[in-house]
A and B are shown apart, each in its own frame.
Chain A
Amino acid sequence: MSAAREPLRRVAVVGAGQVGVLAAIAIKRASPATDVLVVGTPIDPVAFADHIGTALPFTNRLHDRLGVGEEALVRRAGASHRLAMRYTGWAGPGSIGLTAYGGAVDPKLNSAFAREWGGGAHKAAGGAPAGSVGAALAEAGRFMPPGGEAPSPLAEVDYALRWNAPAYRDLLIGIAAQLGVRHHPGPVSAVQTTLDGGIAAIQLAGSDAVAADLLVDASGTAALLSAAQPDRRWIDWRGALPARSLAVAPPAAPRLDLADTIAFTDAGWCWEQAGRDGVTRFLAVPDDVSDAAVEAALGAPPADRFPIDAGRQEQPWTGNVVAIGDAAARFEPLAGVALDLAHRQIDLLLDLFPGRAIDPRERAEYNRRFALMADGARDWIASHYAAPAAAHRLAALERSPALDRMLDQFARRQRLPITEEATVSTSEWAALLHALGVPAQRSALSLAEGEASGRRAAAALDRKVAAALDAAPPYGAWIAHVLREG
């Protein structure tokens, strides 16, 4: 008969940013008897997953599971909801496309009729109605998260949260401490490797060596533990992702907005993250862009500028060390995708939660699935560069066979092949490409169906939008209400 694996006795998480602390919470919740130690490391400002306070809708589910309450985030970490992304200038000068989160987009809305009627890329003055409930709410500035009880017209609206990163980290630290996660300020002064490529113990400043069954390398781009392992290999993504640095503007005055904006500029994409504690602009700059152009695109001289060496670890779990976040993969941190991938890694570790003895097959399965996830995230970002303005501005980029296939299928018939372990659903991906203004023809099936089904889907959406607008208060009023109640 089968026997339960001997549980992990001690896990050391190296790196105390928002990635490392959440990983520690996840492990402690999964296995309360395990001694979980978080070790501080020098702050790595280039670790985007640790410093940018937003992710994607997936994170809400992970937070729920780990007891990180949304209400606490709103009250104590400045959290606000993002229902949609607004893409400006991607189809060409003056173009605007809005795309909402959520898989509930009716594929029939991809027909030419429905697209021209709603959604898709428009000229700024077009004033066409939105292509999904989320987009309509974002445009109207109305929303509140649906309660669990009665069926709500807002129930199928999905959203991402943005928050104040230091406040969020403090909140996580509070939860971790309550769970009994231990903390050591670090730093790690030395590591003891094992013959089979793992790490037996870490030497901490001012204390004895700490042995651990499993180590989580959440130390950012320094990848302190991974760097000590000779078997690590790095896969270079620079051919697929053109940005070589990230310029960050000084924070601007707070603003509530249910959508963030990503503009395509000659100096790269510029993401403006709205928020209750300030608005931040991030500019992902390719090579050969002048400082003046960066400043012009950003609207101010950058407060910071970080290099981006895009790529990922071939085997993020090597020996008994799992690298997560920027220690495992680095890329343009477009609108929450950096932290999303880190959170997916934490979730994957929970899926394949190891015992004291690391099983090589389980580790291989983790690495197999991570590779699909990370490559999917890379392709998701890279697909933005298929937008007409980006394709015009930048030299041809390398594309994975999967992305090549997707863009070709989309262009010729709006069909999106399934990407296993992808960051977004195929319907969200299709909505993105429409919002970016990537030209697409109709499929034989859609042409044979004619316009009636698209018209019906559009009319059904119309009714849903009306019901949702009716049910949702102005977002600012809802936030004020929550803060008052708190």
Chain B
Amino acid sequence: MSGGSKIRIVVLGGGTAGWMSASALAKLLGPRVTVTLIESEDIGIVGVGEATLPHIRGFVERLGIDEADFMRATHATYKLGIDFRDFGRIGESYIHPFGTFGEKVAGVPFHHYWLELAARGMAGPIGDYSLAVEAAKANRFAPPAEDDSLRSTYGYAYQFDATLFGPYLRDFALPLGVTRIEGLVTEVRQDAESGDVTALKLADGREIAGDIFVDCSGFRSLMLGATLGEDWEDWSHWLPCDRAAAMPTAHVDQEIAPYTTAVAMPAGWRWRIPLQHRMGNGYVFASAFLSEDEACEAIRAAASGDRLAEPRVLRFRPGRRRRSWSRNVVGVGLASGFLEPLESTSLYLAQIAITYLIELFPTGGRIDARDRDEFNRLIDMEYDRIRDFLILHYHATTRDDAPFWDHVRTMTVPDTLERKLELWREAGRVELYSEGLFYDASWIAVYLGQGVVPERHDPRAAIPDPGRMCGAMDALKAAIAGEVAAMPGHRAYLTARAERLAAAP
């Protein structure tokens, strides 16, 4: 890594995280680095994350990838949010939208007025006042506006086939000069003095030397975990799900929902992710409460549509490495940590790690410990904030129909979450932060959607005349209905832009 010469980056692992890392590093740091990626056809990829968050659009755009091209290659559909069913109570559902509910009036957040009217029986469900929610429920889609109008109050993401995203990025990265090496790593060579990784030795005897190593080896965490021994912080006491049984089915009808569905199950929850030509299904469950065979049976029974494959079981553990960047090894994706896919955060976490790695990339001949610390500080904050938000989905329930739900309902949650919950319960307020993921609208959606209603709300919400407030809320609802009516159906929108569609299998 001497001055002037290019910094050699070696990415280990050819899954989604690996090719996301290689593409972004090659595209954005191109003239200053060489990127080599080692993958093996003998190692399968987990392919987590068929559903994404709006941030993925920033990633795709920054790489200069055309949306239509990307959607066609990954069989992508649009996503306006997640429909959560049976979480707070069996029979209840709500959509967590990529969007907001109403607007602040006189400095008071919308939900306080909603609470006031709801208490008087004068308001519909909070989702009635969110354009993203109503468009999702109507199976409609149009891209948001870039002004201050009602049509600017939502965002969107994609639902895509994650097993196609990696290969797509591989085709993107190779012309940028990324070197792909097929091979199994048999040994991680370290500098005797510093402990830095110096090279990866392959089964055929080749040694791939590098200056910075990106560990995308999945749960094996070959460098970060197995070689450097970075401690694992286990979160399974808060997030007990540690398996998923995934199974694709054919579409049952012509509609494609512009949202992902998460249905609570006796020992976890199951997803339904509509892609262009199939439905992704999976049961995320806690092995302490359900066997793998039982889970496979349950997903077979629950998923509608013709089965396109038998259920495949994935195993994972929730938690993260204490440090995601250690010595000259940076973990991206599962090698660094895992949070279950309840809020589609897996690819986001890989993306944010890549973003910070690029922001903090060494300019000179060596890695500065301060940059490593900064990277780890930022990644920890992302993980911790998402963790609390996920725990809320389990903890905020009245379900007592299964031992799993008894456990999560009664468990002790992290202090950071307990504080947020108390502030909400007592005063209807959301703890404010501007860095990290999931802001107030997300918290409000889940709190209210899962029946955590505050005991008291802002005194100012009782000042306006209830009849006038009700009129204003109805007007908002009508404006939303008007916007939704003007949107094309999701499938119609895609069909009219056929360059986004893959050929039917």
Contact = CB atoms under 8 A, between A and B. Distances in A.
Contacts of B374: 405, 409, 417
A444 B29 contact: yes
Given A3-B456, A444-B32, A352 B429 contact: yes
Contacts of B458: 4-5, 353
Interface string A349-363: 011111110010110
A441 B435 CA distance: 25
A445 B33 CA distance: 11
A450 interface: yes
B433 A1 contact: no
B459 A1 contact: no
Contacts of B372: none
A4 B459 contact: yes
Interface residues of B, number: 46
Given A350-B107, A417-B374, A444-B358, A2 B118 contact: yes
A2 B107 contact: no
B422 interface: yes
B457 A5 contact: yes
Contacts of A356: 459
B331 to A, nearest CB: 19
A3 B423 contact: no
Contacts of A413: 359-360, 363
Given A32-B463, A444-B362, A4 B456 contact: yes
Contact of B423 (A4, A354, A365, A409): A365
Nearest to A409: B374
Nearest to B109: A351
B266 interface: no
A194 interface: no
A355 B459 contact: yes
A1 B119 contact: yes
Contact of A408 (B363, B370, B456): B370
Interface residues of A, number: 44
A412 interface: yes
Contacts of B106: 30
B457 A4 contact: yes
Interface string B2-16: 000000000000000
Contacts of B459: 4-8, 31, 353-356
A339 B30 CA distance: 47
Contacts of B423: 361-362, 364-365
Given A2-B457, A361-B426, A413-B363, A418 B434 contact: yes
Nearest to A347: B107
Contact of B460 (A30, A369, A448): A30
A443 B455 CA distance: 50
A448 B28 contact: yes
B456 A445 contact: no
A415 interface: yes
A174 B406 CA distance: 60
Contacts of A408: 370
26 contacts: A2-B116, A2-B118, A2-B119, A3-B455, A3-B456, A4-B456, A4-B457, A4-B462, A7-B460, A31-B460, A31-B463, A32-B463, A33-B463, A351-B107, A353-B460, A355-B456, A361-B429, A408-B370, A413-B359, A417-B378, A418-B434, A420-B434, A441-B363, A444-B358, A445-B28, A447-B363
The list of the 9 closest CB pairs from A to B, nearest first, reads A4-B462, A444-B361, A1-B119, A7-B459, A2-B115, A5-B459, A355-B459, A361-B423, A362-B427
Given A2-B428, A5-B427, A365-B429, 10 more contacts: A3-B119, A7-B459, A30-B106, A355-B459, A415-B360, A420-B434, A445-B28, A445-B359, A445-B361, A447-B363
Interface of B: 28-32, 106-108, 115-116, 118-119, 358-363, 368, 370-371, 374, 378, 419, 422-423, 426-429, 431-435, 453-463
